[in-house]
């Protein structure tokens, strides 16, 4: 997995941390990024999809937004999973 969903104290999605976020901060920040709080490096308003979405629509959304990881959230905004472009590729959906 190249990303993790970040939730608030109510269990609602409040961000996503990806390997790309970490790499960008390593390249463009001074100091030790790995010693910083995760809240400083996450994407705070990630693109999401719902569990009822079709896989083809999720792939299209990921292509349009040029993202490799897509959080799946329920109607209350709580994450129920995450789609990874490489997993979709292995499944023959990309």
Mean pLDDT by 10 residues, the chain (94 residues): 92 94 83 81 94 92 94 97 86 71
Predicted local confidence at residue 72, as pLDDT? 97
DSSP 2-53: -EEEEE-TTS-EEEEEEHHHHHHHHHH-SS-GGGS-GGGTSBSS---B-TTS
Check which CATH number belongs to the domain holding 24 and give it: 3.10.580.10
Count how many domains the chain has: 1
pLDDT at residue 14 in the model: 96
Domain containing residue 49: 3-90
């Amino acid at each position: 997995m190249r990303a993790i969903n970040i939730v608030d104290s109510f269990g609602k999605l409040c961000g996503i941390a990806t390997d790309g976020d970490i790499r960008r901060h390593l390249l463009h920040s001074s100091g030790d990024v790995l010693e910083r709080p995760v809240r400083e490096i996450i994407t705070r308003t990630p693109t999401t999809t719902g569990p009822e979405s079709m896989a083809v629509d999720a792939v299209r959304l990921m292509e349009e937004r040029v993202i490799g990881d897509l959080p799946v959230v329920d109607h209350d905004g709580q994450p129920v999973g995450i789609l990874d472009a490489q997993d979709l590729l292995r499944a023959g959906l990309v």
